[in-house]
Homo-oligomer: A and B are copies of this chain.
Amino acid sequence: MKKPLILVTNDDGIFAGGIRTLIEIAQELGEVFVMAPDAPQSATGHAITIREPLRFQRAKEFPDLEAYKCSGTPVDCVKLARGVLLKDRKIDLCVSGINHGSNASTNIIYSGTMSAAMEASMEGINSIGFSLLDFSEDADFSQSRDYVKSIMEHVLENGMTNGKLLNVNIPKLPKAELKGIKICRQADAKWEEVFEEKKDPMGQSYYWLTGKFANFDERPDIDIKALQGGYISIVPAMHDLTNEAAMEPLKVMEGIVI
């Protein structure tokens, strides 16, 4: 049987530990093609580069692989891989990550990792974004390695029903304490921002965005709750943002005639 073609990307950049683990796992499951940013691109959301051209080059970090680093955003990486180097090939799976830090709940909206996976899913490619709830550079990705592999295997073997995109978040726990997997909904939590004001040598103010994540969502099947309970959360996600429930009450506006 022909090996599946797996596109690997991330938002922390080609140098990050998380993508190294993901590449190793992907190599056990198929033919691997890597296109990742040449610099950190966290929190770039679904940004694309339209006012500057894009460049890419072989990634010397992975000399034995078809691996490239790109000057653009995570979404640019997926577009470039598909549109240039893999133009005539079918991509069987796109995996993004493993992100250093949570993309659970509304973090999905800001996440470059998840935006890259969403971009591939919009092209009909089954896509999974993986994130470990550990921001540190030397986060230990080995604890959840077997789960990450099983999730990828499951999708490669069974495909997906009614969708193309998964948001997988993994608690920062030793392997023995990981309780399993829960299929969840996106928690309606949010960042409560605090701006730290500083003065530059000219006396002008500048501001650092900081804040803490606060959850008031009490539904039993939200991702944050699963993670707190020691489970890996999987939220099936989509790019159709239509708020169905709001359509009918808005129809009164169709009566506005100028």
Contact = CB atoms under 8 A, between A and B. Distances in A.
Interface stretch (A16-24, A29-37, A90-98, A187-195): A187-195
A150 B258 contact: yes
A236 B240 contact: no
Given A82-B193, A238-B243, A243-B238, A183 B254 contact: yes
Chain A binding surface SS class: mixed
A58 interface: no
A185 to B, nearest CB: 4
Interface of A: 40, 42-51, 53-56, 75-76, 79-80, 82-84, 106, 108-110, 115, 118, 122-123, 146-147, 150-151, 154, 158, 160-163, 165-167, 175, 178, 180-183, 185-186, 188, 190, 193-195, 197-198, 204-209, 234-247, 249-254, 256-258
Given A54-B195, A84-B197, 10 more contacts: A44-B47, A45-B48, A55-B204, A83-B193, A84-B195, A160-B246, A175-B258, A180-B254, A237-B243, A238-B242
